[in-house]
Amino acid sequence: MYATRLHASQFRKGTTRPYIAHLLGVASIVLTHGGTEDDAIAALLHDAVEDQGGKPQLTRIRRMFGTTVAAIVDGCTDADSIPKPPWRERKEKYLQHLRVADTSTRLISAADKLYNAQETLMDARALGDEIWKRFHASKEETLWYYREVVKILKLRGPQALAAELERVVDELAAVSHVGAAQ
Protein backbone atom coordinates (compact mmCIF):
# COMPACT_ATOMS: atom_id res chain seq x y z
CA MET A 1 0.00 0.00 0.00
CA TYR A 2 1.40 3.34 -1.07
CA ALA A 3 0.44 5.17 2.15
CA THR A 4 2.25 2.55 4.25
CA ARG A 5 5.45 3.04 2.26
CA LEU A 6 5.20 6.84 2.42
CA HIS A 7 4.74 6.96 6.18
CA ALA A 8 6.79 3.84 7.09
CA SER A 9 9.28 5.73 9.27
CA GLN A 10 6.69 7.97 10.95
CA PHE A 11 5.12 7.54 14.36
CA ARG A 12 2.35 9.54 15.99
CA LYS A 13 3.76 12.52 17.89
CA GLY A 14 5.39 11.43 21.13
CA THR A 15 4.35 7.78 20.77
CA THR A 16 5.53 4.49 19.35
CA ARG A 17 2.26 4.07 17.43
CA PRO A 18 2.93 3.66 13.71
CA TYR A 19 1.52 6.52 11.67
CA ILE A 20 -0.38 4.16 9.40
CA ALA A 21 -2.75 3.46 12.32
CA HIS A 22 -3.95 7.07 12.04
CA LEU A 23 -4.47 6.83 8.30
CA LEU A 24 -6.36 3.55 8.59
CA GLY A 25 -8.48 4.98 11.41
CA VAL A 26 -9.41 8.05 9.37
CA ALA A 27 -10.25 5.87 6.34
CA SER A 28 -12.43 3.66 8.54
CA ILE A 29 -14.37 6.65 9.89
CA VAL A 30 -14.80 7.97 6.33
CA LEU A 31 -16.22 4.67 5.09
CA THR A 32 -18.45 4.28 8.15
CA HIS A 33 -19.95 7.70 7.37
CA GLY A 34 -20.74 6.98 3.72
CA GLY A 35 -17.48 7.85 1.99
CA THR A 36 -16.75 6.57 -1.49
CA GLU A 37 -13.78 4.51 -2.62
CA ASP A 38 -12.06 7.73 -3.78
CA ASP A 39 -12.77 9.27 -0.35
CA ALA A 40 -11.21 6.25 1.39
CA ILE A 41 -8.12 6.39 -0.82
CA ALA A 42 -7.80 10.13 -0.19
CA ALA A 43 -8.20 9.50 3.55
CA LEU A 44 -5.23 7.12 3.42
CA LEU A 45 -3.21 9.80 1.60
CA HIS A 46 -4.54 12.94 3.33
CA ASP A 47 -1.23 13.73 5.07
CA ALA A 48 1.08 12.72 2.22
CA VAL A 49 1.52 16.18 0.71
CA GLU A 50 2.22 18.04 3.95
CA ASP A 51 4.39 15.30 5.51
CA GLN A 52 5.95 13.49 2.56
CA GLY A 53 7.06 15.77 -0.22
CA GLY A 54 4.83 18.76 -0.87
CA LYS A 55 3.55 19.56 -4.36
CA PRO A 56 5.68 16.87 -6.08
CA GLN A 57 3.91 14.28 -3.92
CA LEU A 58 0.54 15.67 -5.04
CA THR A 59 1.65 15.22 -8.66
CA ARG A 60 2.53 11.57 -7.94
CA ILE A 61 -0.84 11.01 -6.23
CA ARG A 62 -2.64 12.50 -9.25
CA ARG A 63 -0.71 10.23 -11.60
CA MET A 64 -1.26 7.10 -9.47
CA PHE A 65 -4.82 7.61 -8.16
CA GLY A 66 -6.44 10.15 -10.48
CA THR A 67 -7.61 13.73 -10.37
CA THR A 68 -10.51 13.16 -7.98
CA VAL A 69 -8.33 11.64 -5.25
CA ALA A 70 -5.63 14.27 -5.81
CA ALA A 71 -8.16 17.10 -5.53
CA ILE A 72 -9.48 15.72 -2.24
CA VAL A 73 -5.96 15.26 -0.84
CA ASP A 74 -5.12 18.80 -1.90
CA GLY A 75 -8.26 20.03 -0.16
CA CYS A 76 -7.20 18.29 3.07
CA THR A 77 -3.67 19.77 3.01
CA ASP A 78 -2.97 22.77 5.20
CA ALA A 79 0.63 23.26 4.04
CA ASP A 80 2.63 22.06 1.07
CA SER A 81 5.87 23.93 1.74
CA ILE A 82 8.93 23.24 3.87
CA PRO A 83 9.21 24.70 6.38
CA LYS A 84 5.51 24.90 7.13
CA PRO A 85 4.10 28.34 7.95
CA PRO A 86 3.43 29.07 11.64
CA TRP A 87 0.73 26.92 13.26
CA ARG A 88 -1.93 29.60 13.86
CA GLU A 89 -1.53 31.04 10.35
CA ARG A 90 -1.95 27.57 8.80
CA LYS A 91 -4.99 26.75 10.90
CA GLU A 92 -6.76 30.05 10.22
CA LYS A 93 -6.18 29.63 6.49
CA TYR A 94 -7.42 26.03 6.63
CA LEU A 95 -10.57 27.10 8.48
CA GLN A 96 -11.29 29.63 5.71
CA HIS A 97 -10.83 26.86 3.16
CA LEU A 98 -13.02 24.39 5.08
CA ARG A 99 -15.93 26.86 4.97
CA VAL A 100 -16.10 26.46 1.18
CA ALA A 101 -14.61 22.97 0.77
CA ASP A 102 -16.43 20.19 -1.05
CA THR A 103 -18.27 17.36 0.72
CA SER A 104 -15.42 14.85 0.41
CA THR A 105 -12.85 17.24 1.84
CA ARG A 106 -15.14 18.07 4.79
CA LEU A 107 -15.81 14.38 5.43
CA ILE A 108 -12.12 13.48 5.52
CA SER A 109 -11.23 16.58 7.52
CA ALA A 110 -13.95 15.75 10.07
CA ALA A 111 -12.76 12.13 10.31
CA ASP A 112 -9.15 13.29 10.70
CA LYS A 113 -9.98 15.78 13.45
CA LEU A 114 -12.19 13.24 15.22
CA TYR A 115 -9.46 10.59 15.15
CA ASN A 116 -6.89 13.10 16.40
CA ALA A 117 -9.14 14.36 19.20
CA GLN A 118 -10.01 10.80 20.29
CA GLU A 119 -6.34 9.84 20.40
CA THR A 120 -5.42 13.00 22.28
CA LEU A 121 -8.24 12.37 24.77
CA MET A 122 -7.04 8.81 25.35
CA ASP A 123 -3.49 10.03 25.95
CA ALA A 124 -4.63 12.98 28.10
CA ARG A 125 -6.44 10.55 30.39
CA ALA A 126 -3.24 8.52 30.74
CA LEU A 127 -0.65 11.30 30.81
CA GLY A 128 -2.44 14.43 31.97
CA ASP A 129 -0.97 17.74 30.85
CA GLU A 130 2.23 16.03 29.65
CA ILE A 131 0.35 15.24 26.46
CA TRP A 132 0.37 18.87 25.38
CA LYS A 133 4.18 18.97 25.19
CA ARG A 134 3.92 16.93 21.99
CA PHE A 135 2.21 19.66 20.01
CA HIS A 136 3.22 22.96 18.43
CA ALA A 137 0.12 24.62 19.89
CA SER A 138 -1.05 24.95 23.46
CA LYS A 139 -4.04 22.99 24.71
CA GLU A 140 -6.11 26.18 24.56
CA GLU A 141 -5.12 26.80 20.94
CA THR A 142 -5.73 23.20 19.97
CA LEU A 143 -9.17 23.21 21.55
CA TRP A 144 -9.95 26.55 19.87
CA TYR A 145 -9.09 25.00 16.51
CA TYR A 146 -11.22 21.90 17.08
CA ARG A 147 -14.15 24.05 18.18
CA GLU A 148 -13.86 26.22 15.07
CA VAL A 149 -13.88 23.07 12.91
CA VAL A 150 -17.00 21.90 14.76
CA LYS A 151 -18.76 25.23 14.04
CA ILE A 152 -18.08 24.88 10.32
CA LEU A 153 -19.09 21.22 10.18
CA LYS A 154 -22.32 21.89 12.06
CA LEU A 155 -23.26 24.37 9.32
CA ARG A 156 -22.01 22.47 6.27
CA GLY A 157 -21.75 18.85 7.37
CA PRO A 158 -21.20 16.12 7.98
CA GLN A 159 -23.42 16.75 11.03
CA ALA A 160 -22.98 13.33 12.66
CA LEU A 161 -19.21 13.74 12.71
CA ALA A 162 -19.55 17.35 13.88
CA ALA A 163 -21.64 16.18 16.84
CA GLU A 164 -19.19 13.42 17.75
CA LEU A 165 -16.20 15.73 17.38
CA GLU A 166 -17.91 18.28 19.62
CA ARG A 167 -18.56 15.60 22.27
CA VAL A 168 -14.94 14.42 22.22
CA VAL A 169 -13.57 17.99 22.27
CA ASP A 170 -15.78 18.88 25.24
CA GLU A 171 -14.52 15.81 27.07
CA LEU A 172 -10.92 16.65 26.15
CA ALA A 173 -11.42 20.19 27.47
CA ALA A 174 -12.81 18.84 30.74
CA VAL A 175 -9.97 16.34 31.18
CA SER A 176 -7.47 19.11 30.35
CA HIS A 177 -9.14 21.64 32.67
CA VAL A 178 -9.91 24.16 29.93
CA GLY A 179 -13.10 26.21 30.08
CA ALA A 180 -16.04 26.08 27.72
CA ALA A 181 -15.92 27.39 24.17
CA GLN A 182 -14.91 31.01 23.85
Torsion (CA) 59, 62, 68, 71 in degrees, nearest 10: -10
50 is known as an active-site residue: yes
Of the candidates 47, 50, 123, 164, the residue annotated as catalytic is 50
Where exactly are the structural domains of the chain?
A: 2-175
Q: Is residue 37 within a helix (H) or strand (E), and if so which, with residue range?
A: helix 37-45
- Distance (Å, rounded) from C-alpha 70 to C-alpha 159? 25
pLDDT at 8 exceeding the cut of 70: no
The residue annotated as part of the active site, out of 51, 92, 140, 141, is 51
- Mean pLDDT score across all residues of the chain: 92
> Quick one: which H or E segment has residue 54?
helix 54-65
**Picking from 3-7, 50-54, 132-136, which range would have the lowest pLDDT averaged per residue?**
3-7
Active site residue 51: yes
Strand partners, 18: 11
177 φ/ψ sector (left φ>0, alpha ψ -120 to 50, else beta): left
pLDDT-based confidence at residue 10 (cuts at 50, 70, 90): low
Tens of pLDDT, residue by residue over 78-137, are 988 878 899 999 999 999 999 999 999 999 999 999 999 999 999 999 999 999 999 989
pLDDT at 118: 97
DSSP annotation of 114: H
Greater pLDDT, 74 or 4: 74
For 2-175, which CATH superfamily applies? Hypothetical protein af1432 (1.10.3210.10)
Asked whether the predicted pLDDT for residue 182 surpasses 60, the reply is no
How sure is the predictor about 148, in pLDDT bands with cuts at 50, 70 and 90?
Answer: very high
What's the pLDDT score for residue 84? 85
